[in-house]
């Protein structure tokens, strides 16, 4: 198959950069996206993803101007495609169970219009077993075609790093879980156009496990760092100095502790993996999730403790929450620790939120002016390590605030310097 037309279903943090890279390599690329506002922005060459994504804006504008990338909300375009990439969200519900509604809708829309000989590649993160037990049977049922004979299919999970999506798509090794040899051959050919790293082949089930386990593994590592941080607070040590020295030992890679884990991967992928296991429990994974989920509430507790030390009643306080996005220099608020901090404190205190990139998904006082956020504040809680916060002048900050309290969730400040400037300082992993 000589691929002429590519369709990417879902133009979010995975699908949009993927579509841009294929278009940049000369493929006629069509993006299918249900949000019409996003479609309008993309067709104007405007990136709808907020925050810093080096290279993405430039590539998007270039491929749109060259008419190599067109976005639409019309699913009929799937009938034109030689290769279709499904990049939709697979969230979990309040019971930590997979919600495959978006995936089901995407597969059905594709299946109704799937042409013979086309390749389907699913990039969404899936509970192990989903490709063989759900996606392929549904595609075959809706299309009336047979996988491996009439159409071809692979599972190749995304491995992007938010804040560096273009480089990670190009440079991170690619896993292809194949249904058959012909599917693998077609997928290798097309992915090789954009991937400058090794491409590893395996079966679909193994690829599904790899994707969920690699994020569960990182979540466990972060949970260990957070647990050590809590211990250091009690012992009176600095966890970041402990971490620095631990990592001088061979084969050690202690992760950074912090105010919590957010985003669309680490908060759900461990549960997607666990959802496929029915005969035993996975206590390490569930414990790690519980530890990481507890960190934003711990950050809020540090703020309450500091306010009490200053003699300020929480109910009469103004608290500034600095950083709404889940990750540095991004605008993505999905599962952000800041939302938990806000929810924990807003019933008692007056809250104002600052973020240079994110839009608040909740009704809350919000500003992009950091001075406005800090003015007359009794407590500044730093949840996200945006670059803007590294250049804050403590002396100027002290002049703006009503009560000098810093609660540091990302090791942004030197505790000694803060105290020298008259601040009450609390930091995750920073013993007093």
| Catalytic residue list | 211, 265
In sequence order, the 6+-apart residues with CB closer than 8 A to the CB of 268 are 90, 91, 92, 125, 335
End-to-end CA distance of the chain: 65
Q: Which residue has the tokens 């909740």?
A: 362
Cα(268)–Cα(98) distance, rounded to whole angstroms? 9
Cα(1)–Cα(100) distance, rounded to whole angstroms? 30
Cα(18)–Cα(173) distance, rounded to whole angstroms? 15
- Bridge partner residues of 7 (DSSP): 30, 84
Other Cβ atoms within 10 Å of 328 Cβ, number: 19
Other Cβ atoms within 10 Å of 115 Cβ, number: 15
Cα(386)–Cα(381) distance, rounded to whole angstroms? 13
User: What is the distance of C-alpha 149 from the center of its chain?
Assistant: 36
Cα(35)–Cα(405) distance, rounded to whole angstroms? 42
* Burial class (CB within 10 angstroms; exposed 0-12, middle 13-18, buried 19+) of 177: buried
Largest pairwise CA distance in the chain: 73
Q: How far is CA 34 from CA 73, 109, 165, 199, in A?
A: 5, 12, 22, 31
Q: Among 159, 224, 240, which Cα is nearest to 428's?
A: 240
Cα(261)–Cα(292) distance, rounded to whole angstroms? 6
Residue 409, H or E segment: none
Measured at the CA of 362, the angle between CA 360 and CA 364, to 5 degrees, comes to 80
Cα(268)–Cα(247) distance, rounded to whole angstroms? 28
Sheet bearing 379-382, strands edge to edge:
365-367, 350-354, 318-322, 379-382, 405-408, 424-427
> Taking the alpha carbons of 313, 315, 318, 319 in that order, is the dihedral positive or negative?
positive
Q: 31 by DSSP, 3-state: which? A: strand
């Amino acid at each position: 198959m000589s691929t002429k037309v590519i369709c990417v279903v879902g133009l979010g943090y995975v699908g949009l950069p993927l579509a841009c890279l294929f278009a940049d390599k000369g493929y006629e690329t069509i993006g299918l996206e249900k949000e019409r506002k996003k479609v309008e922005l993309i067709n104007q060459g405007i990136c709808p993803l907020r925050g810093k994504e080096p290279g993405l804006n430039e590539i998007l504008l270039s491929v749109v101007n060259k008419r190599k990338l067109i976005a639409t909300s019309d699913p009929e375009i799937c009938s034109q495609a030689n290769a279709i990439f499904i990049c939709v969200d697979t969230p979990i519900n309040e019971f930590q169970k997979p919600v495959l509604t978006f995936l089901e809708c995407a597969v059905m829309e594709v299946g109704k219009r799937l042409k013979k000989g086309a390749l389907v590649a699913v990039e969404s993160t899936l509970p192990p077993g989903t490709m063989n037990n759900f996606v392929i049977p549904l595609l075959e049922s809706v299309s009336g075609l047979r996988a491996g004979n009439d159409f071809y299919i692979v599972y190749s999970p995304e491995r992007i790093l938010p804040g560096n999506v273009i480089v990670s798509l190009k440079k991170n090794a690619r896993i292809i879980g194949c249904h058959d040899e012909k599917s693998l051959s077609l997928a290798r050919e097309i992915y090789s156009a954009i991937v400058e790293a090794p491409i590893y082949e395996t079966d679909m089930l193994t690829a599904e496990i790899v994707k969920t386990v690699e994020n569960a593994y990182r979540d466990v590592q972060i949970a260990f760092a957070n647990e050590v941080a809590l211990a250091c607070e009690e012992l009176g040590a600095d966890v970041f100095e402990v971490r620095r020295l631990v990592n001088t030992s061979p084969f050690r890679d202690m992760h950074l502790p912090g105010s919590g884990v957010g985003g669309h991967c680490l908060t759900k992928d461990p549960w997607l993996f666990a959802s496929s296991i029915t005969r035993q429990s996975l206590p390490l994974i569930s414990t790690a999730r519980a530890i990481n989920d507890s960190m934003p509430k711990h950050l809020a507790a540090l703020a309450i403790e500091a306010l009490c030390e200053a003699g300020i009643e929480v109910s009469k306080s103004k608290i500034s929450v600095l950083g709404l996005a889940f990750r540095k220099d991004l605008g993505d608020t999905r599962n952000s620790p800041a939302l938990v901090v806000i929810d924990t404190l807003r019933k008692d205190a007056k809250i104002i939120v600052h973020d240079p990139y994110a839009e608040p998904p909740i009704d809350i006082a919000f500003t992009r002016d950091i001075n406005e956020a800090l003015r007359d504040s009794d407590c500044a809680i730093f949840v996200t390590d945006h670059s803007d916060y590294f250049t804050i002048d403590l002396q100027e900050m002290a002049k703006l605030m009503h009560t000098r309290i810093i609660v540091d969730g990302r090791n942004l400040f030197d505790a000694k310097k803060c105290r020298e400037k008259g601040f009450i300082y609390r930091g995750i992993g920073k013993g007093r």
